[in-house]
Structure 1
Amino acid sequence: MKILIAVALCSLPLLAQAEEKLPRDVAQFIEQAQMCEHFAGEWDDNDKARQREITQAVEQSCGQAQRQWKRLAARYTAQPRLRKIIDEHANDAVRSFRKQG
């Protein structure tokens, strides 16, 4: 349930960008990058089960966002406007993600 709320909240900035009519793959990347940043900023030492949920959400969202970022950067190399949008949303959590284990 908490993940659904987080997804809904992170999708709000996409409404502002809807005017730009971004390609679907770029919009999906932005959403994943925002989820990645959100979960990477959470930590709960007091609740081990919650921390496992957070770690799993980081691995899923950051891993997916990082793969999308690399694919989109290559795909939109010749389109500077889109490339700038992609790079602006490739936050530190996306850029530095390394799968655990």
Structure 2
Amino acid sequence: MKLVLVLLFSCLPLLAGAQEKLPKDVAQFVENAQMCEHFAGEWDDNDKARQREITQAIEQSCGQAQRQWKRLSAKYAGQPKLQKVIADNANDAVRSFRKSS
């Protein structure tokens, strides 16, 4: 879990600088969507503890991004530039996320 947190916090300054001109809620969505895609691409069959950390990170980032995606799509429906940012970041991991049982 510590590794996940270190990775997350080390990426935040890079993401924040690139998203300064976006509304805060859209920038947060982009960050969650990128983390969702990152963790959805990881898998470690040999380390069960690491796999639990990855699964938790996926559920948190993908679940949050999916909820934000739906809400922001409606909120910014009349703003084509923001709609494009939202659509471009609603990656397959965000769109197809289903919470595990």
Same fold (TM over 0.5): yes
* CA distance in 1 between partners of 2:37 and 2:6 (Å): 15
For the aligned residue pairs, the C-alpha RMSD in angstroms reads: 1.2
Question: Residue 2 of structure 1 corresponds to which residue in structure 2?
Answer: 3
Question: Residue 15 of structure 1 corresponds to which residue in structure 2?
Answer: 17
* CA distance in 2 between partners of 1:25 and 1:99 (Å): 22
Question: Residue 67 of structure 1 corresponds to which residue in structure 2?
Answer: 67
Aligned residues of 2:4 and 2:53 also touching (Cα < 8 A): no
Question: Residue 42 of structure 2 corresponds to which residue in structure 1?
Answer: 42
Shift of 1:53: 0.9
Shift of 1:31: 0.5
Shift of 1:8: 3.2
Runs ≥4 in structure 1, deviation > 6 angstroms?
A: none
Question: Residue 79 of structure 2 corresponds to which residue in structure 1?
Answer: 79
Give SS of 1:38's match. Answer: helix
Aligned residues of 1:10 and 1:34 also touching (Cα < 8 A): no
Shift of 1:16: 2.4
Shift of 1:15: 1.4
Show CA shifts across 1:75-100 (max 9, x none): 00000100000110111100110111
Identity of aligned residues (%): 71
Structure 2-normalised TM-score? 0.91
Aligned residues of 1:76 and 1:82 also touching (Cα < 8 A): yes
Show CA shifts across 1:30-50 (max 9, x none): 000011011101000001111
Aligned residues of 1:6 and 1:35 also touching (Cα < 8 A): no
**How many residues are paired up?**
99
Question: Residue 58 of structure 2 corresponds to which residue in structure 1?
Answer: 58
Give SS of 2:19's match. Answer: helix
Give SS of 1:68's match. Answer: helix
- Counterpart of 1:56 in structure 2: which amino acid? Q
* CA distance in 2 between partners of 1:50 and 1:60 (Å): 15
